[in-house]
Amino acid sequence: MADQKPQIFELNNGTMQVKITNLGCTITSLSLPDKNGNLADVVLGFDSVEPYLNRVAPYFGAIVGRVANRIKDGKFTLNGVDYTLPVNRPPNSLHGMLVIPNYCELFDAVLISHVCQSVI
Q: Per residue in 34-52, pLDDT tens?
A: 999 999 999 988 888 888 8
In angstroms, rounded to a whole number, what is the distance separating the alpha carbons of residues 11 and 8? Answer: 10
CB-based contacts of 37, cutoff 8 Å, min separation 6: none
- Asked whether the predicted pLDDT for residue 93 surpasses 80, the reply is yes
Q: Whole-model pTM?
A: 0.62
Predicted pLDDT of residue 104: 52
pLDDT at 31 over 90: yes
